[in-house]
Amino acid sequence: MTGPDLAGLAEQLGRAADDVTAIPQLAAETGLDVDAAYAVQAALVQRRLGRGERLVGLKMGLTSKAKMAQVGVDEVIWGRLTDLMRVPDGGTVDVSRFIHPRVEPEVAFLLDRLPEPGEPVGDFTDAVRAVAPAIELIDSRYANFRFSLPDVIADNTSAGAFVVGPWSPVPDGLENLGVLLEVDGRVAQVGSTAAILGDPRRALDEGIRLAGRHGVRLREGWVFLAGAATAAVPLRAGAQVRAVVEKLGSASLRAS
């Protein structure tokens, strides 16, 4: 018996993003499981690297109960970030590049020296050089933003774009900082960094562990998106979005 055509699935997802056209879910039809889905994700991102993009980091997904409930999937997942996904703080994102974009407030880490595979992160401040407020723009390539766990993993965990605000030295505590997502100056979501696995620092342990299972090692200088502190909100053209994290400041973008 042959397994799913991993390269073919990556091509379908890549084309959906290129053509800004949603596709039906793939996993149920093809028998894609979680391990194979990470192989599709690797091929999908490799397709981008083949066009000259660079890998610049890793993102965690579904690290909060609010996010899990929003999409009906209940496992922490991870995806890859490339340089083309990064939007400067205060910059503009063209929403016509995306199918049904949503934004969510996150905490970003600038990675320093990481432990060897299999070793736990000892001192967080050895592993992380700086922290920042961030916005992630997610965009599922599946119709109606509906997917199963292997589907969303294969789709690079809905990664679309991201903005990182000003970097600060790691503060004493990160586990219960207030988080706001504002759209056009109005509060759209309120949360706390406690929603990110109880403490966003845990997301780094999970990222190292889960990515390590697939042979991916986090690198010094990479950006690590620890996960969203609230549910995501739809992004429409013309919106001005700001994510504010207590002690860390804010990150913003404008949608055109």
| Residues near Mg ion, by CB under 5 A | 136, 228
67, interface contact from ligand 0L1, Mg ion, none, CB < 5-8 Å by kind:
ligand 0L1
CA 57, 208, 133, 17 torsion: positive or negative?
positive
In the complex, what is the shortest distance from the CB of residue 154 to ligand 0L1, in angstroms, rounded to a whole number? 11
Q: Give the residue from 230, 232, 138, 226 showing the smallest Cα distance to 178.
A: 230
* Site for ligand 0L1, residues 65 to 124, rule: CB under 6 A: 67, 71
In the complex, what is the shortest distance from the CB of residue 229 to ligand 0L1, in angstroms, rounded to a whole number? 11
Q: Residue 42 or 138: which CB sits closer to ligand 0L1?
A: 138
Contact 64, 226 (CB under 8 A): no
Any contact of residue 158 with ligand 0L1 (CB under 6 A)?
A: yes
Q: Residue 74 or 119: which CB sits closer to ligand 0L1?
A: 74
Query: Which range, of 13-21, 27-35, 57-65, 163-171, touches ligand 0L1 by CB under 6 A?
Result: 57-65
Number of helical H runs and strand E runs in the chain: 7, 13
Q: Give the residue from 252, 194, 254, 249 showing the smallest Cα distance to 227.
A: 194
Phi then psi for residue 94, to 5 deg, are: -85, 110
By CB under 6 A, name the one of 4, 14, 57, 61 that touches ligand 0L1: 61
- Reduced to 3 states, what is the DSSP secondary structure of residue 171? coil
Which residue is it, tokens 């320093």? 112
Binding site for ligand 0L1 (CB under 6 A): 59, 61-62, 67, 71, 136, 138, 140, 152, 157-158, 228, 232
